[in-house]
Amino acid sequence: MNVIKHRRVRGGLLTLGVAMGVAAVTPADTPWRNTAATATAAESGVTESTAAKSTAAESTAAESTVTGSTTATSTTATSTNATSTNAMSTNAADHTRLRALLRRLTTVDGAPGALVEVRNRRGAGSVLTSGVADVKSHAPVRRDSRFRIGSMTKSFVATVVLQLVGERRVVLDAPVERYLPGVVRGHGNDGRRITVRQLLQHTSGVPDYLAYLTPREILEDPLAHHDIRDLVNIALAHPPTFKPGTGWRYSNTGYLLAGMLIEKVTGHTYGEEIHRRIIAPLGLRETYVPGDAPSIPGPHPRGYARPGEDAPLLDVTAMNPTVAGPSGSMISSGTDLNRFLAALVGGRLLRPAQLRQMMNTRPTGNPDGRAYGLGLESRPLPCGGLSWGHTGDALGYETMGGATVEGRQATVMANVDPGGSDAQDADMKAAVRTALCGSR
């Protein structure tokens, strides 16, 4: 039996839990659910691609050659797709383990579809997909899928702030009040006593606005615009969780404030600065800061939520991402996220001093050894060394990405959130670990 998660330990857009029986969200016409208990490895197709995608035409051509196959056990349909490239980035044993994990994600764990993309130090990559992108049409998950990345947005925002630090336009240990005078006030919250570093590292004590903005409120009008300052004020109506610098607690509010800081210092929105400083220079053609746009550009799986263990999935693909803003609004792909992580960890986006600051972590108390830096978290790998990356929860999608300093990257996505199981979390983490430890 799958255990439905009631609280995200990572934070992200969905500390939202699963209390979501809201009429404004449309259930899938077919009450699809995985018959996880009876599915076997052979019943879930996983397809593999080792083809690099360089242009939209190449991607379309590759996709047209794929034959999607489906197998079903009772009401479950599992489909697969594949494309291929020149070089494998993990050996056969690693791919066997990754295939098994993807099969679990789309059978036992209950996700409709899943994708993992792996990239080695030479830039050669491979993609594995499993399950369906759409529970009504049973269309397979495409290898070039875009999806909402939730809190992986924080790594982009922190990178921009640290670039401003490198340009001497922001001081990490300066009070937030210097850049946002009068903004952080009320109920014991005081921007004169909170530093920029503390915002980025979740040590500010500023309450998380998502602890007070309920899923029901969001989903009653999923296309509504949310102003960043209004979201901040939701949090500041409550007392701090601890004195600044004395504890660690994930707070999306800190990254709303970081986004406001970027705009105050540069005169441009956080989205404009992310595009100018990261997206355009790295050629991330599948990465967007969508603003108010509710749709996902390009090929993408539908995003689903599960309001209860035996409830039908709800299609929550269309939403106004301003409810997450700089804490979790972005859209990307496995290819682009891996390219971004490679550039970030490899020192191509930050000067050495600022990269050291980003990677200067503190413990979070998580039993898996997770430690948090400035918009970047580390986890120990079973093969030695660390995975550097982030996790992300957004309505409809759960994402995890990691990279090693030796030059490997991996991103995994499942298209259900909230309502994914604890097993889904565990298997997504295992997929990233397996991919990063491949051939070591």
- CB-CB contact of 388 with 408 (8 Å): no
Q: Which of 151, 329, 378, 421 is catalytic?
A: 151
Rounded to the nearest 5°, which phi and psi values hold at 66? -85, 135
Rounded to the nearest 5°, which phi and psi values hold at 151? -70, -5
Q: At what angle do helices 252-266 and 228-236 cross, to 10 degrees?
A: 130
Q: Which of 287, 323, 310, 291 is nearest to 396 (CA)?
A: 323
| Cα distance between residue 44 and residue 116, in whole Å | 15
Q: Which of 430, 440, 412, 400 is nearest to 89 (CA)?
A: 440
Strand partners, 387: 379
**Catalytic status, residue 378:** no
| Cα distance between residue 70 and residue 279, in whole Å | 36
The 10 Å Cβ neighbour count of residue 232 is: 23
Strand partners, 363: 371
Sign of the CA dihedral with 342 first, then 355, 155, and 9 last: positive
62-72 burial code (b ≥16 CB/10 A, e <16): bbeebebeeee
As a three-state string, the secondary structure of 390-435 is: EEEEECCEEEEEEECCCCCEEEEEECECCCCEHHHHHHHHHHHHHH
DSSP 129-179: EEEBS-TTT-PBPPTT-EEE-GGGHHHHHHHHHHHHHHTTSS-TTSBGGGT
Our measurement of the distance from residue 356's CA atom to the centroid of its chain's CA atoms, rounded to an integer in Å, reads 23
| Cα distance between residue 142 and residue 134, in whole Å | 11
| Cα distance between residue 10 and residue 398, in whole Å | 11
Please, is 185 exposed, middle or buried when counting C-beta atoms within 10 Å of its C-beta (0-12, 13-18, 19+)? middle
Q: Catalytic residues, which ones?
A: 151
